[in-house]
Amino acid sequence: MIVELSFGIAAAVLLAYALVCAVRLGVGPTAADRAVALDTINTLVVAIMVLVGAAFDLMIIMDVALVYALLSFVGTLYIARYLEEGLR
């Protein structure tokens, strides 16, 4: 009970951090700010998925976090490639 509660509270705190990063995604003056905010949100959501899977004791659904941790790299890679050569 106490382990579940602490994992869940940690997930809620990380979700609040993701809200702060979403504010930066909205008001960020340059495109690099927004790219870093989106990448931070990616990492926070992967951590939230792992914490929720541990809190509800559902180890079978934790592979979503694995797949997304692999796939978010591709999105960040395309954003970085665009910022490097395609900024007009």
Partner 1 sequence: MTLWASLLTMSLVMTVVAGFLAVVLRDLLAAALALGAQGLFLSLAFYLLQAPDVAIAQAGIGAALTTAIFLLAIRKTRRKEEE
Nearest to 44 by CA among 21, 62, 76, 27: 21
CA-based angle 25:29:32, to the nearest 5? 70
| Contact residues for partner 1, defined by CB under 8 A | 5, 8-9, 11-12, 15-16, 18-19, 22, 25-26, 28, 31, 34-35, 37-38, 41-42, 45, 48-49, 52, 55-56, 58, 60-61, 63-64, 67-68, 71-72, 74-75, 78-79, 82, 86-88
**Tokens representing 55?**
């809190």
For the bound state, the minimum distance from the C-beta of residue 54 to partner 1, rounded and expressed in Å, comes to: 13
